[in-house]
A and B are shown apart, each in its own frame.
Chain A
Amino acid sequence: MKSRFLILPAVAALASALVGCKPGSGDTIKVGEFASLTGKEATFGTSSHEGTELAIDEINAAGGVLGKKLELLTEDNQSKAGEPANIVNKLISRDGVVAVLGEVASSRSLEAAPIAQAAKIPLISPASTNPKVTEVGDYIFRVCFIDPFQGTVMANFADKTLKAKKVAVLTDAKSDYSKGLAKYFKEQFVKNGGTLASELDYNGGDKDFKAQLTTIKGAAPDAVFVPGYYNDVALIAIQAKELGLTIPLFGGDGWESENLLQVGKDAVEGNYFSTHCSPEDTSPKMTSFVASYKKKYNKTPDAMAALGYDSAYVLAEAIKRAGTTEGPKLRDAIAATKDFDGVTGKFSLDAKRDAVKSAAILQIKDGKFNFLETIAP
């Protein structure tokens, strides 16, 4: 019984500490961020968060914007459906952020977007590629290309580079990203004269893919398009190899994570995917970004980190141009972003609030992501 009485004062102390540190100073500009720092797609959130944080630090070191420092409030959504809505609600209504940066995964951006739209708070997604995300409303932006473009690029790649006539598609039915990318890929691939050997689904987070892969093997395709996320792709590659499936696998930007190499090892060798940029890019912007990222986090950045970095700079620049942090004016300023010189290339936001930019195709070789080619929009 005694221990219970000891816990009470501890809880009280903790509660008062939490109340005490409520952020509420008026001399900073609060920017909200929601990211998957833990859970299934943890490396996405970690990368985009680190990129964003690096950008905010640099902006503050250079004097901030409008004479104030930017304060980044980051919340973790645990890669779970349902969490983004809670978090973004909290960031907007409780913390009073002027804008929200976030999510890599399209499903989670789609969940948060209506809330930001209703509150007239701009939301900039670093890497959600499903077209539906910015269709939610005029306060929703993104700094990456969209899946119709990525799907087309990969369909042409399958056709021209892989010389594949019959392709099987393995889609994550739980993810808006995967479903969208698969759809645009299939449309273009069929238009190019290819046939779809078999179309199967899985649920993100599954560990057993042997059932689907056995069926795919039976259909004898030339290649398998897997528009999923890295954690599932690594296991798909391993199990495909175990079942004796030796054809190439290829996919989209959801593949890009060091984790794919760590888990997939030799099973992912030789496979291809499209993404936003490559750290091997020799542009001065990219080299200086890679150098300062390495200095701060002691690792090479991936595309999600670069996009997180760009999203923060797009916002900071828009705040400067707007001269205010009021929702409608800030929205107009972000929408007017033109020829922005980002780490992921020079881009403008189009009328649909999507970035128009090129895609890079990488191949996994010797346990590294090797740059293959850039494809302009």
Chain B
Amino acid sequence: MNEIFQQLVNGLALGAVYALIAIGYTMVYGVLRFINFAHGDVFMLGSFTGYYVAPQVAKWFPLPGWGGWAAVMAVTMIVCALIGIIIEFLAYRPLRNRPKLTVLITAIGVSLLIEYTCQHKAVFGASQKAFPTLLPAGNFTLGGLSFNTTQFVVLGVTLVLLAALTFIVKRTRMGMAMRAVSHNSAAASLMGISNSFIISFTFGLGSALAGAGGILYGMTYTGIEPLMGVNVGLKAFVAAVLGGIGNLPGAALGGLVLGVVETYAGGMSGISTYRDGIAFAILIVILIFKPTGLLGSKQIEKV
């Protein structure tokens, strides 16, 4: 019985990271109607930013410690936001009016470019690195379950960031502009909204969340390497589709569902190899019965 709850805790912590990344996919899709396949690599760059920033931050704030952790998170989110904006500016903006397929292929190209450049000795190198300890280690048992501080922080940070994001999108002028561009970009620009600015902002916001995900992931699983974003990025993409692409709460829900299912499958003898396969099989089943995803609404294709 204990084991079942323990796995639930493990699964939610994993799912929370998927959720943070899935939101980036879903937001960009919402505004530009294309999948930014380089998003998983921004997540990876987030982990590495944390890796290199932490020793610098440690000069001012004690690490491991809460102040230092917050500083690393903040710096990483800013750096990742800038990276996202630069990627959009250099790779996608010149293709704004080209067919969506062109942009999609470019996204895959950007992703590979980042992965293989980062594997070079002069950048990060290919071998796995140990993510620095940012928070004081706190392993404690509660009713036979072992928790650590990191797991709570991962869940807590995810919830806070989700709430902040929902606020930005639903309650601010910027969010209104984002929704307007998503709804009809031509009409939005006629109303005086700068499409380019809104798109940059969307990329920045999504990438900042991916950066936060990178830090949380590094804190939970410790090993970081330049190809870590491939699998996680794919899972987060699946989470976004599972929840209904373009739908923010859907992306979060999809991430959590995927993380929990995957963890239960991984803990079962005999099927633990197929944990990824089972996660994807569930995606297929859900999409057969609900093609728009868990929380997605029907969309009328504009002709």
- A binding-site residues for B, Cβ under 8 Å: 37-40, 42-43, 79, 173, 198-203, 205-208, 210-212, 214-215, 217-218, 231, 234-235, 238-239, 242-244, 259, 262-265
Which residue in A42, A207, A242, A265 is a CB contact (below 8 Å) of B228? A207
- B binding-site residues for A, Cβ under 8 Å: 2-3, 6-7, 10-11, 14, 119, 125-130, 139, 141, 146, 148, 217, 220-223, 225, 227-228, 231-232, 262-269, 272-273, 275-276
Nearest-neighbour CB distance to chain B for A229, whole angstroms, equals 10
B225: chain A residues within 8 A (beta carbon): 40, 231
Tell whether, in the assembled complex, residue B228 and residue A200 are in contact, meaning their CB atoms are under 8 Å apart.
no
A37: chain B residues within 8 A (beta carbon): 126
A to B CB contacts below 8 Å, 9 in the list = A40-B225, A198-B269, A200-B267, A202-B272, A214-B267, A235-B221, A238-B222, A259-B128, A262-B130
Of B223, B225, B232, B262, chain A has the most CB atoms within 10 Å of the CB of: B223
Which residue in A40, A202, A238, A259 is a CB contact (below 8 Å) of B273? A202
Chain B residue at minimum C-beta to C-beta distance from A263: B130
Q: Do A208 and B223 form a contact, CB below 8 Å, given A43-B127, A214-B10?
A: no
Which residue in A207, A215, A264 is a CB contact (below 8 Å) of B3? A215
Of A79, A210, A218, chain B has the most CB atoms within 10 Å of the CB of: A210
Q: Do A231 and B128 form a contact, CB below 8 Å, given A210-B10, A211-B10?
A: yes
For the complex, what is the distance from the CA of A234 to the CA of B3, rounded to whole Å?
23
Q: From DSSP, what is the main secondary structure of chain B's interface residues?
A: helix
Which residue in A200, A210, A235 is a CB contact (below 8 Å) of B263? A210
For the complex, what is the distance from the CA of A244 to the CA of B138, rounded to whole Å?
12
B130: chain A residues within 8 A (beta carbon): 234, 262-265
Shortest Cβ-Cβ A-B pairs, 3 listed: A211-B266, A173-B273, A38-B126
A173-B273, A203-B275 given; 12 more Cβ-contact pairs under 8 Å: A42-B126, A43-B127, A200-B269, A211-B265, A211-B275, A214-B267, A231-B223, A234-B128, A234-B222, A235-B221, A239-B221, A239-B222
Nearest-neighbour CB distance to chain B for A271, whole angstroms, equals 16
Which residue in A38, A200, A263 is a CB contact (below 8 Å) of B223? A263
CB within 8 Å: A-B pair count: 106
Q: Do A40 and B227 form a contact, CB below 8 Å, given A242-B139, A243-B146?
A: yes
B217: chain A residues within 8 A (beta carbon): 207
Chain B residue at minimum C-beta to C-beta distance from A170: B272
Tell whether, in the assembled complex, residue B127 and residue A42 are in contact, meaning their CB atoms are under 8 Å apart.
yes
A38: chain B residues within 8 A (beta carbon): 119, 126
For the complex, what is the distance from the CA of A284 to the CA of B128, rounded to whole Å?
34
Tell whether, in the assembled complex, residue B266 and residue A244 are in contact, meaning their CB atoms are under 8 Å apart.
no
B2: chain A residues within 8 A (beta carbon): 218
B262: chain A residues within 8 A (beta carbon): 211
For the complex, what is the distance from the CA of A238 to the CA of B265, rounded to whole Å?
21
A202: chain B residues within 8 A (beta carbon): 266, 272-273
For the complex, what is the distance from the CA of A20 to the CA of B268, rounded to whole Å?
57
Which residue in B139, B220, B228, B263 is a CB contact (below 8 Å) of A211? B263
For the complex, what is the distance from the CA of A211 to the CA of B259, rounded to whole Å?
11
A199: chain B residues within 8 A (beta carbon): 269
A79: chain B residues within 8 A (beta carbon): 126
Nearest-neighbour CB distance to chain B for A247, whole angstroms, equals 15
Q: Do A215 and B221 form a contact, CB below 8 Å, given A207-B228, A210-B263, A263-B128?
A: no
Tell whether, in the assembled complex, residue B273 and residue A262 are in contact, meaning their CB atoms are under 8 Å apart.
no
B148: chain A residues within 8 A (beta carbon): 242
Tell whether, in the assembled complex, residue A207 and residue B223 are in contact, meaning their CB atoms are under 8 Å apart.
yes
Q: Do A263 and B222 form a contact, CB below 8 Å, given A214-B267, A215-B269?
A: yes
For the complex, what is the distance from the CA of A260 to the CA of B223, rounded to whole Å?
11
Tell whether, in the assembled complex, residue B128 and residue A200 are in contact, meaning their CB atoms are under 8 Å apart.
no
Nearest-neighbour CB distance to chain A for B76, whole angstroms, equals 18
Q: Do A263 and B267 form a contact, CB below 8 Å, given A207-B221, A244-B139?
A: no
A211: chain B residues within 8 A (beta carbon): 7, 10-11, 262-267, 272, 275
Chain A residue at minimum C-beta to C-beta distance from B232: A207
For the complex, what is the distance from the CA of A259 to the CA of B129, rounded to whole Å?
8
Nearest-neighbour CB distance to chain A for B131, whole angstroms, equals 9
Nearest-neighbour CB distance to chain B for A76, whole angstroms, equals 9
For the complex, what is the distance from the CA of A288 to the CA of B246, rounded to whole Å?
63
Nearest-neighbour CB distance to chain B for A361, whole angstroms, equals 24
For the complex, what is the distance from the CA of A299 to the CA of B228, rounded to whole Å?
27
B3: chain A residues within 8 A (beta carbon): 214-215, 217-218
Of B119, B125, B126, B275, chain A has the most CB atoms within 10 Å of the CB of: B126
Tell whether, in the assembled complex, residue B141 and residue A244 are in contact, meaning their CB atoms are under 8 Å apart.
yes
For the complex, what is the distance from the CA of A244 to the CA of B125, rounded to whole Å?
32
Tell whether, in the assembled complex, residue B267 and residue A212 are in contact, meaning their CB atoms are under 8 Å apart.
yes
Which residue in B231, B265, B268, B273 is a CB contact (below 8 Å) of A205? B231
Q: Do A235 and B269 form a contact, CB below 8 Å, given A210-B263, A214-B10?
A: no
For the complex, what is the distance from the CA of A347 to the CA of B14, rounded to whole Å?
48
Nearest-neighbour CB distance to chain B for A183, whole angstroms, equals 15
Tell whether, in the assembled complex, residue A262 and residue B6 are in contact, meaning their CB atoms are under 8 Å apart.
no
A39: chain B residues within 8 A (beta carbon): 119, 126, 227
Nearest-neighbour CB distance to chain B for A233, whole angstroms, equals 10
Chain B residue at minimum C-beta to C-beta distance from A230: B128
Nearest-neighbour CB distance to chain A for B297, whole angstroms, equals 32
Of A201, A231, A234, chain B has the most CB atoms within 10 Å of the CB of: A201
For the complex, what is the distance from the CA of A239 to the CA of B137, rounded to whole Å?
13
B14: chain A residues within 8 A (beta carbon): 208, 210
A214: chain B residues within 8 A (beta carbon): 3, 6-7, 10, 267
B264: chain A residues within 8 A (beta carbon): 211
B119: chain A residues within 8 A (beta carbon): 38-39
Q: Do A201 and B273 form a contact, CB below 8 Å, given A207-B223, A211-B7?
A: yes
Tell whether, in the assembled complex, residue A234 and residue B7 are in contact, meaning their CB atoms are under 8 Å apart.
no
Of B7, B128, B228, chain A has the most CB atoms within 10 Å of the CB of: B128
Nearest-neighbour CB distance to chain A for B14, whole angstroms, equals 6
For the complex, what is the distance from the CA of A367 to the CA of B125, rounded to whole Å?
22
Chain A residue at minimum C-beta to C-beta distance from B141: A244
A242: chain B residues within 8 A (beta carbon): 139, 146, 148
A198: chain B residues within 8 A (beta carbon): 269
Nearest-neighbour CB distance to chain B for A176, whole angstroms, equals 14
